[in-house]
Amino acid sequence: MAIQTIPGLTGFVYSRIASMDKRAVGKLTDANHLESFHSTEPADYDKKIISLYTQSSLYSNDFLDMINKSTPYYIDNNSDSWKWEVQVPCKFPKIIDIPASTLNLSKPGIDGQEFQVVLDTNEFSKNAVVSVGSRQYGPRWYVVKDPMPYNMGWLYTFTLVSDNPIVDYVSTTFLAIGIELELIDGVIGEFDQDLLGLPRLGEKIQMYESLGSAYGYEHKITEWADDKMMRDASGKPLDILVYAPQRRNQLPLTRNDIKWEPFIEFWMRKSMLEMKVKRMIWSKPGTVKTNGSKQELKRTSAGIYHRMRMNGNLVQYNRGEFSANLIRSVFGDLYYRRVDVKDRHVKMYTNESGFDVFQQALKNDALNSGLTFVADSGNRYMQGEGQHITYNWAFDAMVTRETGKVELIHLKELDLPQSNLEFGQNKKSTPVYMVFDVSPMSDGSMVNNIREVRMQGAPSMTWGYIDGTRHHLGFAKSQGMSSANKFPGYELWMKDRCDIFIEDLSRTVLIEEIPQI
Amino acid sequence: MGKIGKISTIKKDYSVSGMQTMQGSLSQRGLTRIPGTGVFKYPYKEIDGKYRTGLDDKASYIKRISDPTERKIEEERVNKLKQKLQDALGGIDLGPRSPFWNYSLSTSTDDSLHVQPVKLMDGDNYFDLNVPLQELAFSWLRVHPTIASSYQAWERGDYPAETQFYVVDDDVENLVVFKKKVLINKAISKFDSMTPDKKKKVARLLGLPVTDSTTEESVYNQVDNILKQHEFKSGTFQGLSTVEVFNRFADMKENVLHIKDLVKQAVQYSIYRIKPTGKVYEGEFEVAADEDELVKFLSDDDNQDALLTLEGKLKMKKLAAV
């Protein structure tokens, strides 16, 4: 049977386990199970293993390396939840309603006429002058009296500030729900005793989050299976393939276990790490109940992708329409008024197709910028001569006033195989850009904005063995052993409970193609 | 006051699970996302390369509107709006394949020859529809697949549960609901004026469980209920407008209606069987290629004998059933 091929990826890794027949190893290994992996043995081809130009790795751990650099957050009280506060950005007071008395006026504000508007706060007081809609072009309204409570807001009475009150009135453009107002001036006369009040205080919001459920694996091995030596007649370990983790540019992972247990234990640890990374990135928030609908309620918490997508800054563009200008507008918007131009710096974590799209967008932008690129510019664009010229240019970073330096970093987790509905047109993973921290204090990585969370009493995963009539360390340890039960073999299990948490989602941006699914 | 377009966030209840979650704590404060964050929207490009501009009367989302009244209202509205905006923006092409909608062609953040993104924030996002560029933005946002066309549409399940925004456009909703109600009321009034016999025939043809012994009140209630459902949920007419199908039968000539009803009953009482191919059989003999052909055959004056025979057989079957 052929290896299941998933296009678009490179490398072929093998270690010593798993036949190629899609059978899961599952939770139990007995003697028949092991034999069935090796039941028939055709003659060896002269190259035993052929490296196909295809995918066999299901895991890369650069994400884990990155998260490990952040200090984990340990919950140290008697709760599964934790809390924190976020500051609410400052907002201008806004018109939320216009009473009928004002709507009925044909020329509101003409000749000193009073008119009323409902705002969402009461921070403007009598004698204040506010600009409406725009500091530059908007009219100025004078607050005639202190505001009164009005449903969900505050009812204000204004007059129009005008040099020509006989003809001037408030345009309907500025009498609209959603228009924002800003305090510009206070007008205090000789006999006035009402000075202005100070504006509202800053706001904070208390937030909560709960640790999600645990995850784990188990596997039983019978003593008959444990007795078998997985080697051929000449003593060499039997070849068994496994879809095993491998990092690019590293040698393939190999194991040379003759016994089944060490391999299973090794593989279980790897699977724990794989699952940890997958749930930390891709898990969707929700709840489930054990046995369907009757028993314990269990929470699945959100991975960083869903946290960024649902609660952070999200940009979804049409396929084929990624551009340098998109980056300018998105990060320009985020940085504007927050970060000095000299301190702006964006690190986008992406996959290979993200690189492709980014580089093409930058080329297009450069070619349309009005600059002339001369081929004969040293070896900048072309190398060699005659029939041996290498065409060679691409951009992997850009600097604009709006964004500062924008650079890409390859997050290989985003290049792992996608299931069939997700394939892009070119069969690569669809481009996705994750920006973990745009704040100038950060280096753009996850450090201390995205952290692992776990209980202080369980700072890492746990694992153990339930020895039946066979000790997990083999026959030698099974003489006079203390058995937990009479299962003819032993069982091993691994369990962990941890989550991922983004402290400040407003520093993150997720850029992706709008899904066509 | 100028007309305002509004797109708001869909407030969801996260208290059901009883767990302390970030979504829950945002929701308690009336928020849906972390303060200060937003979603950048661009006009949506269909697979056929056309943009959903909200200004295209041939757009596939308009073609998919099953209710003809609603479809017509939307076509008229978008045509008028497109003309108005094109005039206001100096004759710029706002057709669904115009490069105007391709944001990647935009050369700067203030390029007015191409569409600019809109950042939707938590809460209410207002668009002053007296300002052409804001009206333009509102026009494509209100047909964006990630923004529900109304809160009711999201509640009905017309959009994915995770949809975060909806269009608050009471005028359009009201106009559609008003026109639908007028049509329903007209249909009910038409039904009211029919003879009891015709009422039963129409009800049977609509697929309702009506027999000779069903009371007139029951027939009325069943037809009234189905007309108010807007569209058939199941059966032969699934997905079609109930008023449209009702009118088809109500306006039918008396003799055709009678024969159609007769054939329908003949099938119900197993005189005829309709095979999956659509062919009509009596026992082992093929009677007609389909139901319509049988109706046509029985309507022909030359075949009155067959019609009388069928009426007789049906009468016998009904007696036997009693």
Q: Which chain B residues are Cβ-neighbours of A333 within 8 angstroms?
A: 119
Comparing CB atoms, the residue among A328, A504, A514 nearest residue B44 is: A514
B117 CB within 8 Å of a chain A CB = yes
> B128 and chain A: CB distance < 8 Å anywhere?
yes
* CA dist., res. B296 & res. B287, Å (int): 12
Q: Which amino acid appears at position B218 of this protein? A: S
A323 alpha carbon, distance to own chain's centre: 21
User: Does B102 lie at the interface with A, CB-CB under 8 angstroms?
Assistant: yes
Give the angle B312-B318-B322 at the CA atoms, nearest 5°.
145
CA distance B143 to B155: 17
Average of per-residue pLDDT across A119-144:
91
Asked whether residue A396 carries a pLDDT value surpassing 90, the answer given is no
Q: pLDDT tens digit string along A214-255?
A: 999 999 999 888 887 767 777 676 655 555 545 555 555 556
State which residue of chain B sits closest to A324, comparing Cα positions: B104
Mean pLDDT, range A404-419, rounded to an integer? 83
Q: Is B29 on the interface with A (CB under 8 A)?
A: yes
Test the A interface: residue of B8, B16, B22, B31 with most A CBs within 10 Å: B22
Q: Which residue has the higher pLDDT, B181 or A508?
A: A508
SS3 call for A241? coil
Same domain? B132 vs B257: no
pLDDT range class, residue A21, cuts 50, 70, 90: very low
Residue B187 is assigned to a structural domain of this protein:
no
Name which of A102, A210, A312 is nearest B37 (Cβ-Cβ).
A312
Average pLDDT estimate for A502-509: 87
**Closest chain A residue to B122, measured at CA:** A311
Name the more confident of B85 and A371.
B85
Given a cut of 70, whether residue A389 has pLDDT beyond it is yes
Mean pLDDT by 10 residues, chain B (322 residues): 78 74 83 88 90 90 79 87 91 91 84 88 85 92 91 84 86 69 88 89 87 86 84 74 87 87 86 84 86 86 86 84 67
For A299, the closest chain B residue by CA position comes to B19
In a domain, B102, yes or no: yes
B164 at interface of A, judged by CB pairs closer than 8 A:
yes
User: How many residues can be counted in chain A?
Assistant: 517
Highest mean pLDDT (candidates A64-68, A441-445, B244-248): B244-248
Average pLDDT of the segment spanning A273-296 = 84
- Name chain A contacts of B34, Cβ cutoff 8 Å: 86, 311-312, 504-506
Residues of chain B with Cβ-Cβ distance to A300 below 8 Å are none
- Please report the pLDDT score of residue A254 as a whole number: 58
Q: Which residue has the higher pLDDT, A503 or B42?
A: B42
Same domain for B248 and B135, yes or no, is: no
d(CA B152, CA A504): 33
Contact A208 B162 (CB under 8 A): no
Residue A13 reports pLDDT greater than 50: no
- Cα dihedral B202→B208→B212→B213 (10° resolution): -140
Specify the pLDDT at position A113. 93
- Residues of chain A contacting B126 with CB distance shorter than 8 Å: 176-179
B36 touches chain A (CB under 8 A): yes
- Any A CB within 8 A of B2 CB: yes
Q: How far is CA A42 from CA A39, A51, A509, B188, in A?
A: 10, 19, 54, 79
Element (H, E) at B80: helix B68-88
Please indicate, yes or no, whether residues B202 and B287 belong to a single structural domain of this protein: yes
With respect to residue B184, please indicate whether it lies within any of the assigned structural domains. Answer: no
Partner-chain contact A323 B39, CB within 8 Å: no
Of A179, A307, A321, Cβ closest to residue B103: A321
pLDDT for the residue numbered A32 = 63
Q: Which residues pair with B4 in a beta bridge?
A: B128
DSSP string, B217-250: HHHHHHHHHHHTTSB--SSTTTTSBHHHHHHHHH
Q: Which of residues 241-270 of B touch A (CB under 8 A)?
A: none
State the Cα–Cα distance between residues A324 and A408, nearest whole angstrom. Answer: 13
Look at residue B39 in the predicted model and tell me its pLDDT.
94
On whether residue B182 sits in a domain, the answer given is: no
Q: Which of A47-61, A390-404, B185-199, B283-297 has the lowest mean pLDDT?
A: A47-61
DSSP B120-139: EESSEEEEETTSHHHHHHHH
Task: Report DSSP letters for B136-176, one per residue.
Answer: HHHHHHTT-TTEESSHHHHHHTSS-TT--EEEE-HHHHHHH
The phi, psi pair for A320, rounded to 5°, reads: 85, 5
Amino acid sitting at position A98: I
Whether A285 sits inside 8 A of B103 (CB atoms) is no
The verdict on a CB contact (< 8 Å) between A325 and B47 is no
Query: Based on the domain organization, do B137 and B44 belong to the same domain?
Result: yes
Is residue B26 in a domain? Answer: yes
Q: Is residue B185 part of a domain?
A: no
Residue A106 to chain B, least CA–CA distance (Å): 10
Q: How far is A59 from chain B (nearest CA, A)?
A: 29
Q: Mutation test of the interface with chain B: which of A81, A86, A289, A334, choosing the one with the most B Cβ atoms within 10 A?
A: A86
Instruction: Kindly indicate the confidence band of residue A153, based on its pLDDT and cuts at 50, 70 and 90.
Output: confident
Quick one: average pLDDT of A197-211? 82
State the number of CA atoms in the 13 A half-sphere of A219 facing the CB: 23
Is residue B218 domain-resident? yes
- Tell me: do B76 and B123 sit in the same domain: yes
Q: Which residue of B has its CA nearest to A320?
A: B104
Do B2 and A102 form a contact (C-beta atoms < 8 A)? no
Cβ contact, residue pair A175, B38, below 8 Å: no
**Which range (A134-143, A367-376, A488-497, B89-98) has the least confidence?**
A367-376
pLDDT of residue A279: 92
Q: Is B186 within the bounds of a domain?
A: no
pLDDT classification of A8: cutoffs 50, 70, 90: very low
Q: Look at B34 and A368 and tell me if their CB atoms are within 8 Å.
A: no
pLDDT of A39 > 60? The answer is: no
Contact B25 A206 (CB under 8 A): yes
Of B177 and A401, the structure prediction assigns the larger pLDDT to A401
Q: In which order are the strands placed within the sheet that holds B285-288? A: B273-274, B280-282, B285-288
User: What does the pLDDT read at residue A23?
Assistant: 52
Give how many domains chain B has, as a whole number.
2
Mean of pLDDT values over A371-396: 85
| pLDDT value, residue B231 | 73
Q: Which of A19, A62, A93 is nearest to A446 (CA)?
A: A62
β-pairing, A28-29 with A215-222?
parallel
pTM: 0.70
Residue range of the domain that includes B86? 4-177
| Pair A161, A104: CB distance under 8 Å | no
Pick from A81, A311, A329: CB nearest B109: A329
Domain ranges across chain A: 27-38+58-83+207-239+249-369+392-517, 95-201
> What pLDDT does residue A294 have?
67
The answer to whether residues B171 and B203 belong to one domain is no
Sequence-distant (6+) residues with CB within 8 A of B94 are B53, B55, B82, B85, B86, B100, B136
* Backbone φ, ψ for residue A119 (5° rounding): -110, 165
pLDDT in tens, B33-76: 888 889 999 999 988 889 999 999 988 878 887 777 778 888 88
Residue of chain A whose Cα is closest to the Cα of B146: A514
Q: What is the token pair recorded at A226? A: 């444990």
Q: What is the pLDDT of residue A6?
A: 36
**Same domain as B298, residue B166:** no
Lowest mean pLDDT among A314-328, A402-416, A475-489: A402-416
Q: Which residue has the higher pLDDT, A506 or B231?
A: A506
To probe the interface with A, which of B20, B28, B41, B133 has the most A CB atoms within 10 Å? Answer: B20
Q: Is the predicted pLDDT of residue A22 greater than 50, yes or no?
A: no
Residues B223 and B168 in one domain: no
Among B104, B109, B130, select the one facing A332 at the smallest CB separation.
B109
Could you give the CA distance from residue B105 to residue A318 in angstroms, rounded to a whole number? 13
Structure-block tokens of residue A159: 């007059």
